[in-house]
Structure 1
């Protein structure tokens, strides 16, 4: 009698050695999935490459070949059953042998493999599985030589990476080390089955104003099943069931209809109900295989229409326009098997804690583990998913095309049931390489075969092959050729498409105060680099003598070209420079915090102006190792001040206040005689709200109000948009330097604050602020006698603060809730102009 498929992980009993060293002894492997660096660390054969300059001491690993082996006893094989080896991911050039016979040669890290092995097993007896991994670094160099017809053009890493389907950041990036991994980085399983479900696909459409979902589940079964059964469940209760016979080719379709389905919304706009889709492959009433996924029902659109600003670029979910405030995601470790479902969950919960509703999975990493997207579905985080191409002009020889087509098909199929994924993008910044090197590109030329013969042949992937796969496999999800992309215009066009706004930090190194005026229709990358928290910095070095801002070890942990000049420039332009490592770390973090404040505050304000700005995704949420970078939380999930600044700007109701930017360097430190200012409130709520708004004008020097406050009582805030509250002009000749402090008061409680300061801070005196921090059970109460900039509490692991990096105004004390730990720790903090307390 046919029985259910049985899959057994091959996790233990492995060993490894250096393939090309006959004297290297086999060493134990703790667990598969793994990569060679993890196993060398476990066997104490290398130093930790995350500390000091040890990265240099382990570079040799990437230039060697490595072999993994294990043995297993053949399973019992009932008559009519088959046995398979399932490889979810091999990094990268893998030659797999079973009992001395080659069963697989793989050259793509992003592919999974199912290999039939029934006839090859020793039964009874031990079966030996051996995997040789060639050096991807050396193979990339060889491929570059073998294909002189192509110009290998790349920024970051060696150009040979372009011919290798491996996570591109492993070659090193401007935020990460060169650590060329190899090994079985995803699970390997042994399967015994009479039949298996190769794939299932859920398609649906809405009618009756989103009140009816009608769809089909397409299933492909391999093996002896004669029937497929569908069960659609919500919170454990079956809401729909169907069954159908399996066609001769193994395919079948089952139809369903849901009346009044529970709709899935992104965080901040509604709930995230998930349905369970269960598909059974059946033979004579016996279940042979089960396919189970959770999905959410939602309508998703990318809205691009002409308007007074050019052409819009924003997302609409279930007929609700969504402002996408969030951050870009890079792989959260250089050693991918370290990333557990719990670690993914912690990172994504951090996004929700920070008020963010979208992440962009960057194209130089990987198609992330299922656990990443499962958490996004459950938490309501929209996903902009890049295909895995970044910062290069990629080659197109036929074998590589075939591999990329299969890569795209497999990964879109694997991920298409996730309601969180609302866009697939062809690559990261490859069209900027096209522009930089003047590679030929005629947007009006639609002959995709001719693209293969040009100097920018990868256009074939981004505008033909990949969109065709998405249309076939996930037609309800939007496709976009690149990030950034501007419909054939230059990639820095601010009127159409998405933009990577790097003229702050990179490029022309604009003042970060200009962010609001240099944004595009969707800002999918921008940022300012900073040091991580002091505890992380201390752990990055092996010798305390390196704990000063310009040490070689600390510079080594910042991979950005010219970072010394850029960090120094933005600090010197804005702040009085203080000595000491802790003070330097604080100033870099405060600069980053201020930069993202100008960006999110200004761009979210534009949401209410014909959706002028549809989203802002800071570069970047996370790090892959302990480093100074653009991340707003470091490798250990320790939050930088910018994390909190973004959270405040993305609250459902957020007040903004800002005076017109005056470039003091161009005017040779001459102040503007007058400054226009404006106050507004942004809302993501589906309904109008009535609130009170107060604006105060407070002297930086004395802490006194130099004007009567502006108080607006019971004003109506537009739903899902922007409401202007007040505007005016400051006379900088007669009025002393002062802050504009705005807040929203609802039900007698302050629910949002914003403070505009005279720029730059370096011209202001911050002596004698009169800051007071009172520790009470579960909270701190912070007050000041004079306006105080950037009160940052030192955070301990396991202790969560409700807010940080606060601007404190006299007469408006702020409360910071403290969770975790057994008691509220003694407050240790600093603010602009003081030494740490």
Structure 2
């Protein structure tokens, strides 16, 4: 008998309260679903994403909710030897499941799947409907109860309230410094009714690649419930590569394996390093009594690649970078949070669109943050296809978690299931134990004797029992359930003896938050604030005005600093921090469009300083192995660190990252005097001013270098121009350099260079006259084999001291409305098109200099209908 699978998707209703509640049942959305979306569909709540409505729906998280459906008994369930199961893909979170009035299941972990044998529990009559009911209790209230029950543990959580600590639920549902408090509940993954005599439970592949990267040898594993004979075919682009029919039993009951060998295998490479070769393993399960009857089928797509996390002592400390297929790979990219506060709204095509945006932005890696979820298979399938590497945190973030017996049991089940679920994806190249939990340990002085105490059992008796999870349980699961994927105890984490609370630049990965948070350093200092791998850093900015207008319905609230806008920004101290960074660097504008533009250019500049400098470090002995901005995306329409907003509309910073991570880039960076600080050294005792116009505008020193991720050297030509901001004229002789570009690294072109300009230097003993000064931009471009491949511009900092009068901006449009052309008479800073969910541009947030004609393609509308602005535009 062939396996029968029926997804219980429709015919669901829901009500407030438990089974005894007298509330009426209302129609629910098709599964998967969650309570807020069902209430919204029934017009019982206002849209939580608009205005202050988040506050009006807080009550939803305090209640219990019941979901109910009916389904017929499968025709085949009465056959002798037949098993019927209900598979619950995911229940959020404290769920009591009843079948025909009897308790079937109790679940307290959102991240686990439950398969329950209901043979003999469903109705014997095909004409009688079965009743399935699920009661979801308040996760917040249950969390508070668990805190009281486990007084032996010191619960510490950051960002939110203590109730999330003992609950295995997406931690961001309690709110975060970029997201609302929307604690949803419901059947958030499919529920499937299966009837079978035998079935395929799982398929996975383990393999090794020879040293020459030519031959792949491995095994295909098939887990079977019941009896049957598996057959498997390995395919590449629809072509059969190898057929497997000789199966051997393994140590685990029900698991069979067959060996395979592919002599000239095509390997899977990250984007930019090679092709993403994918193989499909198609398995058929045939009847053990009739070889011609197919009982069940399953297939898994995988790719073959070798991954190493290289942590070796060197002149900079201890390295931290990834080597893929024997090639060192610089991992520039971003961090990922759940794409919606309501998880069931994100469909496979949405996941693919997000990963494609990352890939199109030259991002090689996306880190799935530990306060979210283990993302859907479609997320990883898109990464496999598009060559984006995935760093996956286990689902722990910013807390001291308990480790009592039932909690450990639940965590182990969660870990094993999700590692198994994701282990075939070649894009997944590292698992990390948590996000920032070791910072909690350091901040609160919890017991952590890394060198002295190596006994996992003893860790459970300390006030940091979760060490047992991160340094024993999870690595054990990884070693037993998957092969060829490194494990890292936390993000950030050094070597167990180094601090994570204070940035340690010589070992491990770091979260660099002394720009924006912490000491709030000027972002021009980011080049010297890197580490061996920067897995978090960031700067806030507003999304485009169209996104803000869609979330704030009252036009009177659409001004910078309004209560409605401040309410949406959940970052602590954002009112001071954002204004400080903008005010330090730009002349302020307080209309919404002008302020939005300034925050976006400020964010773009900050990220540019970081990416181009830390990528330069990659070429200096792998000093920095990767840079991941916090964050790629938003879970609702808001102002945050995201470089793409909730609707998928890129901020200018997304384009800045794309330019900085291009396969070939040219970079120019001048030494910047920190004008925000007073000079303290003895040489400046006669002048206590912290502003020195000579150092800012006159005594210019700069570097030029080329960065490459190409695997072969290339020949290029770098040119450098010095252009007056005031007049648009060139104020120094151009520099031309032929350059042999180093493969997979950086090549210095000019170091500590001081241009000889035609600008007269002012008398050092006379007051500095800004009217006689002539600050200039440094414009570089790179041509390779005669083709222009990259440009860069360095500005005198801060921008607010410059005058941008009479720029002579000329904007023209193609006849078909698909292109826009920009030219200027004088240098222009931060030219931004006002994108929206409907209208996109292929390039944004760029600078323009005289003699350059920028061509930009427009999608979704006519080019002449797209608004634009630049810094200090009249």
- 1:253-276 per-residue CA deviation (whole Å, 9 max, x = no partner) reads 100000111110011111111100
Conservation of the 8 A alpha-carbon contact between 1:773 and 1:827: no
Map of 1:236 onto structure 2: 238
Map of 2:580 onto structure 1: 569
Map of 1:587 onto structure 2: 598
In 1, distance between residues paired with 2:793 and 2:428? 36
Matches within 5 A, 1:189-338: 189-225=192-228, 227-245=229-247, 247=249, 249-283=253-287, 284=289, 285=291, 286-338=293-345
Name whichever of 335-344 and 808-817 sits farther off: 808-817
Map of 1:100 onto structure 2: 101
- 1:489-546 per-residue CA deviation (whole Å, 9 max, x = no partner) reads 1012110100000000000000001111001110100000111110011111131111
State which of 714, 729, 741 in structure 2 corresponds to 1:717. Answer: 741
In 2, distance between residues paired with 1:71 and 1:818? 50
Note the C-alpha offset of 1:246.
6.5
Alignment pair present for 1:697 and 2:737: no
In 2, distance between residues paired with 1:460 and 1:662? 47
Name whichever of 624-633 and 249-258 sits farther off: 249-258
Alignment pair present for 1:826 and 2:865: yes
> What secondary structure sits across from 1:118 in the alignment?
coil
In 2, distance between residues paired with 1:245 and 1:550? 67
Note the C-alpha offset of 1:746.
3.0
Note the C-alpha offset of 1:748.
4.0
Conservation of the 8 A alpha-carbon contact between 1:600 and 1:616: yes
Name whichever of 485-494 and 37-46 sits farther off: 485-494
Note the C-alpha offset of 1:799.
3.4
In 2, distance between residues paired with 1:573 and 1:372? 39
Alignment pair present for 1:631 and 2:679: no
In 2, distance between residues paired with 1:625 and 1:582? 20
Matches within 5 A, 1:448-487: 448-487=456-495
Conservation of the 8 A alpha-carbon contact between 2:582 and 2:599: yes
In 1, distance between residues paired with 2:716 and 2:300? 43
Note the C-alpha offset of 1:827.
4.4
Map of 2:685 onto structure 1: none
- Gaps of at least 5 residues in structure 2 are 679-689, 763-772
Matches within 5 A, 1:412-811: 412-444=419-451, 445-488=453-496, 489-491=498-500, 492-667=503-678, 668-671=690-693, 672=695, 674-713=699-738, 715-727=739-751, 728-730=753-755, 733=761, 736-776=774-814, 777=816, 778-811=818-851
Alignment pair present for 1:377 and 2:394: no
Alignment pair present for 1:45 and 2:44: yes
How much is the aligned-residue C-alpha RMSD, in angstroms? 1.4
> What secondary structure sits across from 1:120 in the alignment?
coil
- 1:542-570 per-residue CA deviation (whole Å, 9 max, x = no partner) reads 31111111111111110000000000110
Note the C-alpha offset of 1:669.
1.4
Map of 1:340 onto structure 2: 347
Note the C-alpha offset of 1:399.
0.1
- Gaps of at least 5 residues in structure 1 are none
Note the C-alpha offset of 1:282.
2.3
> What secondary structure sits across from 2:204 in the alignment?
strand
In 2, distance between residues paired with 1:229 and 1:703? 72
CA 1:344–1:355: 2 relative to 1, 3 Å: same
In 2, distance between residues paired with 1:796 and 1:85? 44
Conservation of the 8 A alpha-carbon contact between 1:228 and 1:246: no
Map of 1:13 onto structure 2: 11
Conservation of the 8 A alpha-carbon contact between 2:776 and 2:795: yes
In 2, distance between residues paired with 1:281 and 1:460? 40
Map of 1:188 onto structure 2: 191
> What secondary structure sits across from 1:137 in the alignment?
helix
Number of equivalences = 830
Name whichever of 653-662 and 768-777 sits farther off: 768-777
Matches within 5 A, 1:377-416: 377-416=384-423
Matches within 5 A, 1:353-364: 353-364=360-371
- 1:554-601 per-residue CA deviation (whole Å, 9 max, x = no partner) reads 111100000000001101111111121111111111111000000101
Conservation of the 8 A alpha-carbon contact between 2:203 and 2:300: no
Note the C-alpha offset of 1:749.
3.6
CA 1:133–1:257: 2 relative to 1, 3 Å: same
Note the C-alpha offset of 1:441.
0.9
Conservation of the 8 A alpha-carbon contact between 1:775 and 1:827: no
Conservation of the 8 A alpha-carbon contact between 1:775 and 1:826: no
In 1, distance between residues paired with 2:647 and 2:177? 19
Conservation of the 8 A alpha-carbon contact between 2:666 and 2:792: yes
In 2, distance between residues paired with 1:169 and 1:796? 27
Note the C-alpha offset of 1:747.
4.6
Conservation of the 8 A alpha-carbon contact between 2:436 and 2:492: yes
In 2, distance between residues paired with 1:132 and 1:374? 33
> What secondary structure sits across from 1:696 in the alignment?
strand
Conservation of the 8 A alpha-carbon contact between 1:168 and 1:364: yes
CA 1:827–1:108: 2 relative to 1, 3 Å: closer
Q: TM-score, normalised by structure 1?
A: 0.97
In 1, distance between residues paired with 2:343 and 2:531? 34
- 1:229-255 per-residue CA deviation (whole Å, 9 max, x = no partner) reads 121111111111112357493221100
Alignment pair present for 1:172 and 2:179: no
Map of 1:54 onto structure 2: 53
Name whichever of 774-783 and 126-135 sits farther off: 774-783
> What secondary structure sits across from 1:825 in the alignment?
helix
In 1, distance between residues paired with 2:296 and 2:166? 38
In 2, distance between residues paired with 1:486 and 1:541? 43
Name whichever of 445-454 and 628-637 sits farther off: 445-454
> What secondary structure sits across from 1:647 in the alignment?
helix
Q: TM-score, normalised by structure 2?
A: 0.93
Map of 1:132 onto structure 2: 135
In 2, distance between residues paired with 1:377 and 1:659? 39
Note the C-alpha offset of 1:675.
3.5
Conservation of the 8 A alpha-carbon contact between 2:247 and 2:258: no
Note the C-alpha offset of 1:290.
1.9
Note the C-alpha offset of 1:208.
4.9
> What secondary structure sits across from 2:566 in the alignment?
helix
In 1, distance between residues paired with 2:800 and 2:713? 41
Conservation of the 8 A alpha-carbon contact between 2:578 and 2:599: yes
> What secondary structure sits across from 1:436 in the alignment?
helix
> What secondary structure sits across from 1:548 in the alignment?
coil
